[in-house]
Structure 1
Amino acid sequence: MISYAECSARERLALLLDPGSFHEWLPPSERVMSPHLAQLGVPSAFDDGVAVGRAMLGGRRVFVAAQEGAFMGGGVGEVHGAKLVGLLQRALRDRPAAVLLLAESGGVRLHEANAGLIAVSEVMRAVLDVRAAGIPVLVLIGGANGCFGGMGIVARCADHIVMSDVGRLAMSGPEVIEASHGVEEFDSRDRALVWRTTGGKHRWLIGDCDALVEDDVSAFREAAVAAIDESRPLTLAALEDEHALLTARLHALPADNVDSAGHDEAALLWSALGIADAQQVPELSVEAVRALRTI
């Protein structure tokens, strides 16, 4: 077993894809870098924190992008976002079997502010264009930094999400919530709380991800191969179904999100979804949690 979380972006690509099949577009040797970071005195990276290219997965041609969490937390800036958009737009022209996004990001790179926000919005639009063309977009989440902010929204725009139990997915990251509303609202240092409310087990149980796997590159590969043909048409009916699911989830919780026993929101929601002994979920194996899903 090789830990997906402990791998770099390029290590994940080498281990996840068919051996030797990855061909990178705009590799570090091209030095396509952010035009903003140097002006701010911030170190840059020759690939701006993301590797994009084509490859084979299970004998099928795919386009793939892998964010490097070790560079600025995988933050999206102008060039980083443009590489993702370019990959997706090329998919519309060349029609691979699928597009894979190996997401590891805290969201928009604050150093680039509006440029990063615009970049993320363009990535979202490009993902939806690719899906509308019938090409599945698969997002794999299992890096140490999680998938937050704008990239969290991008992930939920995709056809299929694969998460490990150590992966995390949310709109606002724990530190952002704490900084905005105080530690009483969310203690970002409480690791158990963070994983209960943003981790892979939670996202699986409430229907926000499509496959829950171990923290193992091989498990991610198997799940990605299995999902290549799982395109989900973008229809009004599908959107209405999603809204109905979110509405039911919201109404399942008490107004203050805490019951008389002091159970927190995550465990309350699991119980409301019909999961017995919800308090035990964090201690269960991935296999056991997979069997508990009711939606």
Structure 2
Amino acid sequence: IAKGSIAGLPVVIAAIEGNFQGGSLGEVGGAKMAGALELAAEDNRNGIPTRAILLLETGGVRLQEANLGLAAIADIHAAIVDLRQYQPVIGVVAGSVGCFGGMSIAAGLCSYLLVTREARLGLNGPQVIEQEAGLEEYDSRDRPFIWSLTGGEQRFNSGLADRYVADDVVQIQQQITELLQQGLPENQRSRQVDHYLERLAALNAEPQIDPATVRDLYQGERS
């Protein structure tokens, strides 16, 4: 957790270390992130326009902590929704771990989401899907297949991320600065339920849906 300023704007940053237990989030780490976001919201109520940046490299809840970890992630969700009333909450998924589980919901609640080509975003990770649905349904070792479905480029092209940049510190920083200065979005993504239901309804589920079909559905909105 760090607090400072970017381009003169007050900011709190929370980063998850993806190399430690797959970036899984437990009771204590979750409480730190939720607490930082809650304090940022309190700053805003006291006239200090603190924004937030979440660096999300995480497999979600730490399974051995069970409900305590889930409760911590729920607190993070509530804190994001509270803070984004006042200032942007920016999520960044940039590494090979990706963002899964309950923290993928946190990513979806962010005002803006920035991803790289290496990023992945999904509710369930590839190994979990393979374990539950079988190898024929989802081969977790097929990297091109995995990235074609949940990779940063696909998530951007299907409207689930706002910025798509190279895995470069300077470019990521520039994009974050732009989003901070942009202010709150006109309509938070998580409030566009009807919009996404319309998109799902427009897909023909009879044949197997491929990534290109999903991208094509959103191209008109990007152009």
TM-score normalised by the chain length of structure 1:
0.69
What residue is the counterpart of 1:74 in the other structure? 23
User: What TM-score do the two structures reach when normalised by structure 2?
Assistant: 0.91
One-letter code aligned to 2:25: V
**In the alignment, which residue of structure 2 is the partner of 1:254?**
204
**CA deviation digits over 1:203-229, x for unaligned, max 9?**
111111111101111111001000013
> What is aligned with 2:222?
293
Q: Percent identity?
A: 37
The SS at the match of 1:212 is: strand
Q: Hey, which bits of structure 1, 4+ residues long, moved more than 6 A?
A: none
Provide structure 2 residue ranges, at least 5 long, that are not aligned to the other structure.
none
The reply to whether residue 266 of structure 1 matches residue 211 of structure 2 is: yes
- What are the residue-to-residue correspondences of 1:69-218 with 2, within 5 Å? 69-95=18-44, 96-132=49-85, 134-218=86-170
Q: Residues of 1 paired with 2:73 and 2:63: CA distance? A: 12
The answer to whether structure 1 residue 222 and structure 2 residue 174 are counterparts is yes
Code of the residue aligned with 1:101 in structure 2: it is: L
Q: Indicate the RMSD between aligned Cα atoms, in angstroms.
A: 2.0
Contact map agreement 2:158 2:217 (CA 8 A) in 1:
no
Distance 1:131 1:272 in 2: 28
Larger mean Cα displacement after TM superposition, 242-251 or 55-64? 242-251
Q: Which has the higher helix share?
A: 2
- Structure number with greater Rg is 1
Deviation at 1:252, TM superposition (A): 3.0
**CA distance in structure 2 between the partners assigned to 1:196 and 1:252 by the alignment:** 20
Q: Deviations over 1:33-70 (max 9, x none)?
A: xxxxxxxxxxxxxxxxxxx1202212322000010000
CA distance in 2, matches of 1:252, 1:201: 21
Alpha carbons 2:43, 2:50 under 8 Å: kept: no
